[in-house]
Amino acid sequence: MEKYDVVVIGGGPAGYVAAIRAAQMGFNTLCVDRFKGKDGKYSLGGTCLNVGCIPSKALLDSSKHFDHMNHSYDVHGISFDNPKMDVATMIARKDKIVKQLTGGIAQLFKANKVKYIGGSGKLLKDRQVEINNDEGSQVVQGEHIILASGSVPISIPNVEIDNEYILDNAGALDINAVPEKLGVIGGGVIGLELGSVWNRLGSKVKVFEAMDTFLAACDQGIAKMAARTFKKQGLDIHLSTFVKSATIKDGKVEVVSETNGEKTTEIFDKLLVAVGRKAETDGLLADDCGIKLTERGQIDVNDDCQTSVPNVWAIGDAVRGPMLAHKGSEEGSAVAERIAGQHGHVDFNTVPFVIYTEPELAWVGKTEEQLKEAGIDYKVGSFPMAANGRALAMNEPTGMVKILADAETDELLGAHIFSANAADLLSECVVTMEFKGCAEDLSRIIHAHPTLSEAVFEAAMNVDKRAIHKAN
């Protein structure tokens, strides 16, 4: 039986980062991952690189260019004669990017001397791992085991995914022609992003959202602005609406939904199911391995990502906390460092959230609603992108920056941005919060002019009614 210092089960953003970081510190490391790409071959990167974060951003970028050609470039004096989208080329470009990045991880493994085996890994007792693949079965042992199995889409009753007509996130990335009508169940990150892709290309998109609040996790002032913007873009979003069934009939999808007790039947060319994800533990744990699961089916861990079994750790989507690639990666690094006797650190209070619509939504920390509920006295500063010179020059004036700070100490408590490049603008706010900085710290940093980041600067000044380019 081969023995390793560290065995990682899962090769997504949590697992591959943990494996590389462990190897960097001198541990003999093995990574086992069962994900297979479109070509049927084992492919590192997990859901994120293969059928999630990366391919969706490739399609979002392609569709954005097409949408701008149709609706935005005329103000620049640029005109086009009947622009067309070749969907096959767009999908091929997406696949090329995925292959480049997943192959890049394999090269990083080689460079860092991480051994990689494609196949399914199952944790047995005594920190043994059974590996099964096309070549057969073997058992290895690790001094430490890191479980990074990721997550899978949640299904709903009476809606059976076939990835031809009724799609999950993977199927929605490979639609071969623009559907005339696209239904989307779920108004969260996946639903809004992939709904935006096909809306820009000409689909009539209807979003069914069961909650009565749009983007409930987001600051509601920002969320309401986003809802108005998405409506103008053509996304037909219906709150408090439950899909009761979806049936394939004559090459179409018949969807029965219910809003406030009233049922409606509609026909769509495609239906995307994007109601969330759950921890993936199927086939991961032997009955006698000793690992405990939570009531939600996640692997039970403490604050340091330790499971109920000594020297067995779990990270990423399979455990508590937000299901975000960067959160999983940070946990992977932290656990590898803890194994080495160091003090790996992950602060859930400074995990950034992003929705890559246009404009983007990005936030970190508390919302106004959360601060009010907690009884925390706070100050607010905001700044509209319409008053930002760079945003106007880019023809991207929609949105705003909102800064929340403690009323007494001025410590930055939250930042919420709806704008072009919001994900990148948020980073300085994350840094400020990580160092327990104040809104005044942000407002005392010299920002280059003209830049979008000046909106963050002005919003921070507006916390104390010192903004220059906005009436306080």
Sign (positive/negative) of CA torsion 165, 357, 72, 88?
Answer: negative
Chain-centre distance for alpha carbon 11: 17
Q: Is 187 annotated as a binding residue?
A: yes
For the chain, count helices (H), then strands (E): 14, 22
Q: Is 412 annotated as a binding residue?
A: no
Q: Is 186 annotated as a binding residue?
A: yes
CB 261 within 8 A of CB 172: no
Which tokens go with 63?
A: 């569709």
Q: Is 190 annotated as a binding residue?
A: yes
CB 106 within 8 A of CB 44: yes
Q: Is 381 annotated as a binding residue?
A: no
**Helix H or strand E segment including 19:** helix 13-24
Q: Is 326 annotated as a binding residue?
A: yes
The residues near 80 (Cβ < 8 Å, ≥ 6 apart) are 69, 70, 73
Cα–Cα distance measured from residue 210 to residue 259, given in angstroms and rounded to the nearest whole number: 9
Q: Is 209 annotated as a binding residue?
A: yes
Q: Is 323 annotated as a binding residue?
A: yes
Q: Is 262 annotated as a binding residue?
A: no
Which tokens go with 436?
A: 């327990």
Strands 115-118 and 29-33, how do they pair?
parallel
List of long-range contacts for 208-213, beta carbons under 8 Å, 24+ apart: 208/183, 208/184, 208/238, 208/241, 208/242, 208/243, 208/255, 208/257, 209/237, 209/238, 209/239, 209/240, 209/241, 210/240, 210/241, 210/242, 210/275, 211/187, 211/239, 211/240, 212/239, 212/240, 213/239
Cα–Cα distance measured from residue 209 to residue 216, given in angstroms and rounded to the nearest whole number: 11
Q: Is 57 annotated as a binding residue?
A: yes
Q: Is 325 annotated as a binding residue?
A: yes
Q: Is 375 annotated as a binding residue?
A: no
Which residue in the list 65, 68, 76, 449 is annotated as catalytic? 449
Q: Is 276 annotated as a binding residue?
A: yes
Q: Is 121 annotated as a binding residue?
A: yes
Q: Is 136 annotated as a binding residue?
A: no
Determine whether 449 is an active site residue: yes
Q: Is 192 annotated as a binding residue?
A: yes
The residues near 122 (Cβ < 8 Å, ≥ 6 apart) are 129, 130, 131, 132, 283, 284, 285, 286
Q: Is 81 helix (H, G, I), strand (E, B) or coil?
A: coil
Cα–Cα distance measured from residue 282 to residue 316, given in angstroms and rounded to the nearest whole number: 16
Return binding residues for FAD. Answer: 57, 121, 317, 323-326
Return binding residues for NAD(+). Answer: 186-193, 209, 276
Return binding residues. Answer: 57, 121, 186-193, 209, 276, 317, 323-326
Catalytically annotated residues: 449
